Amino acid sequence: MVVEAFEKQGIESATRPVAIAISAINARCLDAELISFSDGCRVYLDPEAMAVALSVDRPSIVFRNMEKFDPDELIRAEIISAGGRAASINRRNMVAPTAAECLKVIQSTDMVRAGQPYRVIYAYSKEGLTRACVVYAEWHAALVVLLEDFIEGHEERFEARSAREAADLVAFFRLLAEEIASDDRFALTRGLRKKGLLVEAVWGDRIPSDPQQRVTRLTPGEELQDWNFVHVVRQANDIVDQRQMLG
């Protein structure tokens, strides 16, 4: 299990014992890309224990890997880890918030850390055993928890927001349908097809397209049209019929 050291002073302070030990034994410290620790034996040490191991083993080379903070990459990784799809990262969906929504959660004090190291790994091998020291910055760990909590609460927020938007849309369509039904041009027009043409010409730009891109027919045999448009025309026509029935 990786030993995580979180230091308020920063990642440089947390790894200082290791850096001092490397200097004391005159070992070369080489920056390297970490590929895998999957093969062979390994042990993970905290900075103080790593410093002791270095002083005893006195390796000639110590490898160091530094990961720098990239807000976009972190958000992408957290969204996908939570079950989101890469293709939907920038589109509103029920599974996970968008990347833009996640960016708004990150404080400006964290955003300015972009490009700064958030994780450092020191490693060397001796007698078939890899010694590794993994240190994470405290601010990065707190940021990960913040994003995880935000993403976890997305579905509930999404459903509540969708319900509000649906209610607002129903109310808007009702008012618009009443306005259309009160217009003599619509009330005196015969046939849903002609009424649809009138609504499209006069009120069409006020009817939002269905976000799910659903389509239906205003009357049998007609071309497919936007679901919301057809709904408003039919609702206005029903209001006219009801008014005529009531005299």
Are 33 and 122 contacting, i.e. CB atoms less than 8 angstroms apart? no
Give the pLDDT band (50/70/90) at residue 109.
confident
- What pLDDT is attached to residue 31? 73
How is the chain split into domains, by residue range? 11-152, 159-245
pLDDT reading at 39 higher than 80 = no
Rounded Cα gap, residues 245 and 247, in angstroms: 5
Which positions ≥6 away from 104 have C-beta within 8 Å? none
Give the pLDDT band (50/70/90) at residue 115.
very high
pLDDT (mean) for 233-240? 96
pLDDT reading at 6 higher than 50 = no
- What pLDDT is attached to residue 75? 93
Are 185 and 227 contacting, i.e. CB atoms less than 8 angstroms apart? no
Phi, psi of 176 (to 5 degrees): -65, -40
pLDDT (mean) for 199-210? 96
DSSP string, 12-70: HHHTHHHHHHHHHTT-EEEE-------SSEEEE--HHHHHHHHHHH--SEEEEEEEEP-
Highest mean pLDDT among 24-28, 134-138, 232-236: 232-236
Give per-residue pLDDT as tens, 157-186: 999 998 999 999 999 999 999 999 999 999
C-alpha dihedral (204, 205, 208, 213), degrees to nearest 10: 70
Phi, psi of 22 (to 5 degrees): -60, -45
Answering whether pTM is above 0.85, one says no
pLDDT (mean) for 152-161? 91
